[in-house]
Structure 1
Amino acid sequence: MTLGWELIEVDPDTGTIEVAFTAGEQFLNPAGVVQGGFLAAMLDDTLGPALVATLPDGQFAPTLGLHVQFLRPALPGRLVGRGRIVQRGSEVCFLAGELLDSRGRPVAVATATARITSLSKKPGRTRSTSRRPSTGMADRMVRRVPSPAPMSTTYGIWRSRRQR
């Protein structure tokens, strides 16, 4: 099952991103609305790429913490996520964003903390870095990721980039 991730717009200079998701019937809880865990995953897949888009090759930023507040029930269909970098340090970054329903009303908001790491050749091993960002990855995301992008996670962006 995927979240139906679609890149709408990314601006690495301002650290912002807009993405869309398709919440299918399989995401519904017994009350007939999208289950909160799926909304949290969508927000994580909104906030993370806002930062990842600013990173040079060989770096990634896993989420250390994610705090979600649910504002209203989300119905199945298209949901739009907007994410931004609030503050960026050499290793730790703070992110924020919201998930909007088809009428433009916020259904959930989130803040996150992420840590910039260097990717090693061995899976699962990373080390921190203080290297300054470049917009290289964002340019490749826009060129290489078709819209809509059939990816479900931030890791999918990185994986699809490495496989090319």
Structure 2
Amino acid sequence: MSERSGPFWDAAEGRAPLPRAAATLGLEFLDADVENGTIELAFTATEDFINPTGNVLGAFLAAMLYDTVGPALLATLEPDQFQSTLELSTHFLRPARPGRIIGKGRVVHRAGDIAFLEATLTNSDGAAIATARATARVIPLDQAPNSA
């Protein structure tokens, strides 16, 4: 794959720092297939993410899913493009414990500036923890909010 650039690729390839929210989630870029619109990431759920029963709080899992569907689309965009998430629907399938969590995302369909995305989080045994579907709009990078 030729060298790509833009906010996603600059962070994924170490030319720019990860956004602080992604760093908090322990995001690690594993692989992307730009032509097929797929991405694989890893997250590190720490003890700071747990609820009183010792499971990872669902809000952190939703944030991991959000940080999987967005990059699935971002990886396919031109350097002067960004994405704005319009909606995210999450489904929690089983409890997650602290540790490494794998996120796999994909662009299901893109029509013009609207994209339909999905993602799955799995635990160290490969069992699905949570899934999400999202709709996003491709926007010019200069129209992206300045906050992470």
Q: Please say whether Structure 1 and Structure 2 have the same fold, judged by a TM-score greater than 0.5.
A: yes
Matched residues in 2 for 1:54 and 1:79: separation? 23
Unaligned runs of 5+ in 1: 126-154, 156-164
**In the TM superposition, what are the counterparts of 1:127-146 in structure 2 within 5 Å?**
none
| Residue matched to 1:124 | 145
Residue 98 of structure 2 is aligned to residue 76 of structure 1: yes
**In the TM superposition, what are the counterparts of 1:4-153 in structure 2 within 5 Å?**
4-120=26-142, 124=145
Q: Classify 1:123/1:16 alpha carbon distance in 2 versus 1 (closer, same or farther; 3 Å).
A: closer
In proportion to residue count, which structure has more strand? 2
User: SS of 1:54's equivalent?
Assistant: coil
- Runs of 4+ in structure 1 deviating by more than 3 angstroms, as ranges, are 122-125
Matched residues in 1 for 2:103 and 2:144: separation? 29
TM-superposed deviation, 1:124: 3.2
Higher relative contact order (CA 8 A, sep 6+): 1
TM-superposed deviation, 1:100: 0.1
| Residue matched to 2:4 | none
Q: Classify 1:123/1:61 alpha carbon distance in 2 versus 1 (closer, same or farther; 3 Å).
A: closer
Identity %: 52
**Cα RMSD for the two superposed structures:** 1.5
The normalised TM-score by structure 2 is: 0.81
User: SS of 1:62's equivalent?
Assistant: strand
The normalised TM-score by structure 1 is: 0.73
Matched residues in 2 for 1:94 and 1:123: separation? 19
Tell me the alpha carbon deviations over residues 59-91 of structure 1, each in whole angstroms, 9 at most, x when there is no partner: 101211100000000000000000000000111
Count how many residue pairs are aligned between Structure 1 and Structure 2. 125
TM-superposed deviation, 1:123: 6.4
